[in-house]
Structures are given as C-alpha cells and as structure tokens.
Amino acid sequence: MDLLFFPARLGPPLNISLFENLEAHNSVCLNWETPENADCFTITGYAVLLSCGEDVTSIKIDPQDKPLVLTDLQHGVTYFYSMCGETSLGPGESSPLCFFETGIDYRHRPIPFGY
C-alpha cells in the first residue's frame, strides 16, 4: 500500500524577481512563480509585506494578478519585502526577507533576490 504525502502548508513563492520601472522611478514590478507544491492546494491569493522604516504595508493580490506593480514609492529609499501564497487553510510559507532601493538604474535587469 502506497502512502500519499500531502504537505501541511503551501511553500513559498519561487523565483521572485523585481524590476524597477524606468519610466516612473517611484515604482517597481514584482513577479514570481507559483510555489513548488501548489498542485496540492488551491491558491486563493498572495500577500506581500512591504516595509520602509517602521511603516509596514500588507498587500493582498488575486492569484491571476501577476505581476504586481508597486507605485508611489519614495525615491532613494530602501524597502524590505516578503511574500506568501494563501489558501483556504491559511497563509503558506513566506519567502525570505529581501530588500531593494528605489532610484537605482538597473536597466531592466532584475534586482537579484535579496539584492
């Protein structure tokens, strides 16, 4: 008899990449791939935590709303972010905490994960 394994939680989003919008230096585009074990769950959305200093913002995203464009960011400021998928069972594992700085010309190259 074969035993089936079902993970207890959704894994973290994969291959998170961030691009600065060169037309508007106060915005970035965040993209990702679905978690590795997503076929075991129904993803109901994603949550991004974005912080700048002591200000923390939680952004909820529908699963089909990719990529996410973050706008109205302060120029020359370091932002920290993490994201997770959400299911009817609750939030999945969070991605590692990463950061980026606005106002740097990356020439449409992705900002490396964790920068």
What CATH number does the domain containing 46 carry?
A: 2.60.40.10
Range of the domain at 60: 14-101
Structural domain includes residue 107: no
Looking at the 3D structure of the chain, how many domains does it have?
1
Q: Rounded to whole angstroms, what are the CA distances from 61 to 43, 46, 54, 77?
A: 11, 5, 22, 24
Q: Does a structural domain hold residue 45?
A: yes
Question: φ, ψ for residue 76 (rounded to 5)?
Answer: 70, 25
Answer whether 32's CB lies under 8 Å from 66's CB: yes
Confidence of residue 115 (pLDDT cuts 50, 70, 90): very low
| 46-95 pLDDT per residue, tens | 999 999 989 999 999 999 998 999 988 888 889 999 999 999 889 999 99
